[in-house]
Amino acid sequence: MANEFRKQAENRSIDESCQPIIEAGLKQGIETAWERLEKQKPQCGFGQLGICCTNCDMGPCRIDPFGNDPQKGVCGATADTIVARNLIRMLATGAAAHSDHGREILEVLYEAATDKADAYTITDVEKLKALADEYGLATDGISTKDLAKALSLKILEEFGTIKGKLQFYERLPEKRKALLNKLGIAPRSVDREIVETMHRVHMGVDNDYINLLTHGLRTALSDGWGGSMMATEASDVLFGTPSPLSSQVNLAVLKQDQVNIILHGHNPILSEMIVNAAMDKDAVAKAKAMGATGINLAGMCCTGNELLMRRGVPIAGNMLNQELAIMSGAVEAMVVDYQCIFPAIVDVAGCFHTQVISTASKAKFPGATHMEFEPHSAVQTAAAIVDQAIENFPNRKKDRLCIPNNPADWTAGFSVEALLKALGGSTDPLLDAIKSGQIRGAVGIVGCNNPKVKHDFAHVRIMERLIADNVLVVGTGCAMIAAGKAGLMMPESAEKAGPGLKAVCQALGIPPVLHMGSCVDCSRILVLVAALAKALDVDISDLPVLGSAPEWYSEKAVSIGSYFVASGVTVHLGLSPRILGSKAVTSLLTQGLESVVKASFFVETDPDKAADAMIEKIDQKRKALGI
Ligand code: BF8
């Protein structure tokens, strides 16, 4: 049986740091996402194909996928309408999640500027000025705080602006802007596109799948070149623009002799304060008095990525590691804000001493301790949370500890600004390397984990294949955490790259897989491809670049994939979205879009075949560019 559990653990994940914990969990009968997925099987066939409609109370309705009756919902909606409506509803939820996060950061920037949140300072004044300039604000002789106030108001206004356009949209290369303007899908404001999606999917509004999906692209653009980009830029102003740094990653960053606090979710606003609170002398002294040698912070998912990028805080793992971290028996507190947090962590925590502490008024978890965060009292809340974790240390059951050894080293912090600096201030060296063929192209690998796919396997396999073929990988989110755990993010990892990419990485002292941040920081990838296209005076769709989400699960990923495609970047998906119940929708998204936005989606579940397809597409782009 022991061997059986080991085998099962190895089948579930390639992350060696978590396999012993999965194994221990199996022995103890602790339920995790993998067990819950099994219990859901067989998953609803109508749902999987996207042909179940629950939008109104005449339903739920479903369409027969074999062409028999019923072919229409009670209202008359066809499979095409239902699939398209369901998809853009998902997309709008994802865009809303990113954008609402962005709005909160901007609100804190405003509060910091107006002395309502003293704990926060403006760290990157240079970026503040550059953004103010971009927004047409006078900067001369204006104090930093006044500038931050004016800028935050100016950007916040764009959530519901009546001026009908977003400033960051102007960052697109002219050719792309002209195309999107011609298609009539330039985003008008952040909230408006999301609200309009919700309006259109109501029964009896938009029933034309093409019209629905076209608006989906507009909504996604309002996320990528709107809400997400706002989140990234405002976070940089408040907490600093990332620059390269080293840290460690995987569950072995948890420490046997220290109070371990995991910071999980997406928003850096509170967790940045917890980083400060954990360094407080009195807190450390109290931890020692409780029998620990100190306080150890570790990130999880994209809150982790935010803290890693700017503060070098180690990361315990990505999305599928969340329950396993608690099952190490070594976590005194898991502090959560919002997004990608399994409600089940409270149940798993119930089997151990871990306290789950929720902090956002909009994200409560039954069974968790709620310690609500507000910017004006951030320092006190952060201190109270750290204190709670310290107090919990003596409750740890030493005989249940399962902390792996050997954390992996990694480097992160590759903002566009940092990359340009590494390149000597311009994109030219990168473009020269692409033109000469030293670098064949680039792929942005982003997104999540999904228990339907062996944890981290698709991410890592695709990355290994691409870099070996001289394709530079940039990325964000849980994909990058997978890369770090697999040892692909040290300058020495260049040894795993093909000769051309290896030489470039060695010359610049960078790894072949570059961590650009959290999921909202996919906006950094947009800025980078826009800069490359502008330098070559081509459209983004002409570049030998692709996007890939090998293990995606979330509604946010639907929005990310869609804004990449709308921006001209073809996107690989490792799992099919729930669209296969409509041939028309499937064909539009995987082929038809090419003639509309010069990019499309393709689904390939096999990582090797996916890498082959990406390399082929990169070569086609190179040929078309004449390089
Ligand atoms: O925010 S944490 S599981 S949704 S990739 Fe995916 Fe990971 Fe979530 Fe993107 Ni970031």
Cα three-residue angle 43-44-48, rounded to 5 degrees: 90
Do 163 and 17 sit in the same domain of this protein?
A: no
Tell which of 190, 210, 239 closes a domain.
Answer: 239
Task: Write down the pTM of the prediction.
Answer: 0.98
Q: What is the pLDDT of residue 396?
A: 97
Spell out, as residue ranges, where the chain has pLDDT lower than 50: none
Give the residue, by CA position, lying nearest to ligand 1 atom 6: 448
Q: Looking at residue 196, which CATH number applies to its domain?
A: 1.20.1270.30
d(CA 488, CA 496): 8
> Ligand 1 within 6 A of 549 CB?
no
Whether residues 609 and 475 share a domain: the answer is yes
Q: What is the 3-state secondary structure (H, E, C) of 567-587?
A: CCCCEEECCCCCCCCCHHHHH
In this structure, is residue 73 part of a structural domain? no
**Residue nearest ligand 1's atom 9 by CA:** 519
Last residue of a domain, one of 180, 212, 239: 239
Q: Is residue 328 part of a domain?
A: yes
Q: Is residue 72 part of a domain?
A: no
Q: 557, 571 in Cβ contact below 8 A? A: no
Q: How far is the CA of 318 from the centre of ligand 1 (A)?
A: 8
Residue at 6: amino acid letter? R
pLDDT at 278: 98
Total domains in the chain come to 4
- Specify if 406 maps to a domain: no
Shortest-distance atom of ligand 1 to CA 340: 8
Q: Is residue 340 lining ligand 1, measured as CB closer than 6 Å?
A: yes
Looking at the domain assignment, is residue 57 inside a domain? Answer: no
Q: Which residue has the tokens 């502008």?
A: 534
Q: Please tell me whether residue 69 adopts helix, strand or coil conformation.
A: coil
Contact between residue 272 and residue 206 where contact means Cβ atoms under 8 Å apart: no
- Do 290 and 169 reside in the same domain of the chain? no
- Shared domain check, 550 and 466: yes
Q: Which residue has the tokens 């399994």?
A: 342
Instruction: Give 429-483 as a DSSP string.
Output: HHHHHHHHTSS-EEEEE-----TTS-BTHHHHHHHHHHHHTTEEEEE-HHHHHHH
Distances from the Cα of 508 to the Cα of 430, 492, 533, 553, 564, angstroms: 11, 12, 22, 34, 27
Rounded to the nearest angstrom, the distance between the alpha carbon of 548 and the centre of ligand 1 is: 14
Mark whether 436 and 299 lie in a shared domain: no
Are residues 517 and 368 part of one domain? no
Q: How far does residue 340's CA lie from ligand 1's centre (Å)? A: 6
Note whether 347 and 213 are same-domain residues. no
Buried b (16+ CB within 10 A) or exposed e, 142-169: eeeeebbbbbbebbbebbebeeeebbbb
Over residues 198-255, the pLDDT tens digits come to 999 999 999 999 999 999 999 999 999 999 999 999 999 999 999 999 999 999 999 9
The pLDDT tens digits of the residues spanning 121-144 come to: 999 999 999 999 999 999 999 999
Q: What is the CATH number of the domain that holds 492?
A: 3.40.50.2030
Residues 391 and 417 in one domain: no
User: Which of 353, 378, 400 lies at the terminal end of a domain, its last residue?
Assistant: 400
Tally of residues, the chain: 627
**Pair 226, 257 in one domain:** no
Best of 341, 456, 556 for a ligand 1 pocket test (most atoms within 8 Å of beta carbon): 556
Instruction: Let me know if residue 60 belongs to a domain.
Output: no
In-domain check, residue 139: yes
What local confidence, expressed as pLDDT, does residue 2 receive? 73
Q: In this structure, are 474 and 540 located in the same domain?
A: yes
Half-sphere exposure of 443 (CA within 13 A, CB side): 35
Residue 555 Cα to ligand 1 midpoint, Å, equals 10
Predicted pLDDT of residue 616: 98
Who contacts 100 (Cβ-Cβ below 8 Å, separation ≥6)? 227
Task: Judge whether 55 lies within some domain.
Answer: no
Shared domain for 35 and 141, answered yes or no, is no
| Residue 385: predicted pLDDT | 98
Same domain, 462 and 557: yes
**576: buried, middle or exposed (CB in 10 Å: 19+, 13-18, 0-12)?**
middle
Choose among 538, 583, 588, 532: nearest CA to 565: 588
- Residue 500's domain comprises 412-625
Output the residue whose Cα is nearest ligand 1's atom 1.
519
